[in-house]
Amino acid sequence: MTQAVAQSNEQFIAIPSYRVGPYGSNGQSFYGGYVDYLNYVNLKEGGINGVKLSWEECETEYNNAKGVECYERLKNKNPVTKGTAYNVMATGISYALIDKTAEDKVPLMMVGYGRTDAVDGSVFPYAFPLVTTYQMQASAIVKFLTTKNGGSLAGKKIAFLYHDSAYGKEPIGALEAESLLGKFALVQIPVAHPGNEQGAQWLRIRQENPDYVIFWGWGVMNQTAMKAAQKVGYSREKMIGSWWAGSEEDTVPAGEAAKGYMSATWNVSGKNVPVIADIEKVVYATGKGNMQDQAKVGTILYNRGVSVAIATVEAIRTAQGKYGKGKVISGEQMRWGLENLNITNARLGALGATGLLPEIKTSCDNHEGSGKVKIQQWDGSKWVLISDWIEGNKALIHPLFKANAAKYAKEKNITPACMK
């Protein structure tokens, strides 16, 4: 699972992961894809412009305190790179680390999670909520439902069933703004961690009888919700989850209860993406694959891990373009690479990743880089895309996180400024 020796001539990547605990099955697929792509780059290209990648994992169990411990343990494994960048795949841990990483000048990658207001790089220079934030995702889901209802949700009722944590609470501001704009009623229903008890929540949903349920779950909470919806007679075709509630780890265990369920996603599933098929040939054919269950190669979370690794590697490559090809880059140089990322469709094509994820173009003003999602639906055996890329309402959402970023800057006595 680890490649622990951090040599001075290698680009060391710290991996605070979770493969055990209540969300371990999700982490196994995600981090399996992430590590497989790093290995793939070493095997296929000999590294990045000749610089081999090395890495080490540290088990967080999706626990905030352990996440901080892993950060402190891993950041000094290589004094030059300090781990290059951190991707903890946990909003709570990212909240706990956002000040520490800025102080240590270590980029915090929050790809598809974390603080939405960190999109403002003038306030959060070392934090990168890349691809699409929770608030833009929520807005895109509302846009999809609006289109589905002839262009208006006025008079409709939407329940927001969410994991009662930083992750679940993050999109609330966006949904409240959307409900005022779209003139629909919003009913907020929290679910306590880990989410395997939802009886009271679904009784309330049955009483409220909402037109739709927007669902922000994770781990065991997801399959529990689908089964509970079936039990109370609520149509899964009226449920639409976040991208962390839309994987095979959620739908397969739910069985028949998952059929018709929808979710947002910022990456596609399947092995028809050339880079995924090539990973099987290059990595698994040589016995170096990270996944014990190779059947999960090509699933949503595996492909998401590959997508995040692609963003990581391309940021390193971008930084090398400025600071020297074939050189090990520092955390500060990685920050520049992440802030000047430009992964075009042409580049995705060259990587064999066409359609795997959206184009990403970042700047100081926009550490997100995309803001787009697709909507997929479970047909009983696989995910089927039912939309093209949908972008959330930037005119509504971006001022919200800009205001939050300004408030944060005032509280922390930060003078907003773009770094060179």
3-state secondary structure the chain: CCECCCCCCCEEEEEEECCCCCCHHHHHHHHHHHHHHHHHHHHHHCCECCECEEEEEEECCCCHHHHHHHHHHHCCCCCCCCCCCECCCCHHHHHHHHHHHHHHCCCEECCCCCCHHHHCCCCCCCEECCECCHHHHHHHHHHHHHHHCCCCCCCCEEEEEEECCHHHHCCHHHHHHHHHHHCCEEEEEEECCCCCCCHHHHHHHHHHCCCEEEEECCCHHHHHHHHHHHHHCCCHHHEEECHHHCCHHHHHHHHHHHCCCEEEECCCCCCCCHHHHHHHHHCHHHCCCCCCCHHHCCCHHHHHHHHHHHHHHHHHHHHHHHHCCCCCCCHHHHHHHHHCCEECHHHHHHCCCCCCCCCEECCCCCCCECCEEEEEEECCCCEEECCCCEECCHHHHHHHHHHHHHHHHHHCCCCCCCCC
Q: Provide the percentage of residues in the chain whose pLDDT is more than 90.
A: 94
pLDDT for 288 beyond 80:
yes
The predicted pLDDT at position 4 comes to 43
Stretch 228-236: mean pLDDT, rounded? 97
pLDDT, tens digit, for every residue of 307-363? 999 999 999 999 999 999 999 999 999 999 999 999 999 999 999 999 999 999 999
The predicted pLDDT at position 7 comes to 58
pLDDT for 163 beyond 90:
yes
The predicted pLDDT at position 420 comes to 81
The predicted pLDDT at position 347 comes to 98
pLDDT tier at 9 (50, 70, 90 boundaries)?
A: confident
pLDDT for 274 beyond 80:
yes
pLDDT for 102 beyond 50:
yes
The predicted pLDDT at position 83 comes to 72
pLDDT tier at 104 (50, 70, 90 boundaries)?
A: very high
The predicted pLDDT at position 78 comes to 76
The predicted pLDDT at position 123 comes to 98
Stretch 35-55: mean pLDDT, rounded? 97
pLDDT tier at 206 (50, 70, 90 boundaries)?
A: very high
Q: Provide the percentage of residues in the chain whose pLDDT is more than 70.
A: 97
The predicted pLDDT at position 5 comes to 45
pLDDT for 3 beyond 70:
no
Specify the range with the lowest mean pLDDT, choosing from 65-79, 382-396, 404-418: 65-79
pLDDT for 1 beyond 60:
no
The predicted pLDDT at position 41 comes to 98
The predicted pLDDT at position 80 comes to 67
pLDDT for 268 beyond 70:
yes
Specify the range with the lowest mean pLDDT, choosing from 83-92, 276-285, 286-295, 329-338: 83-92
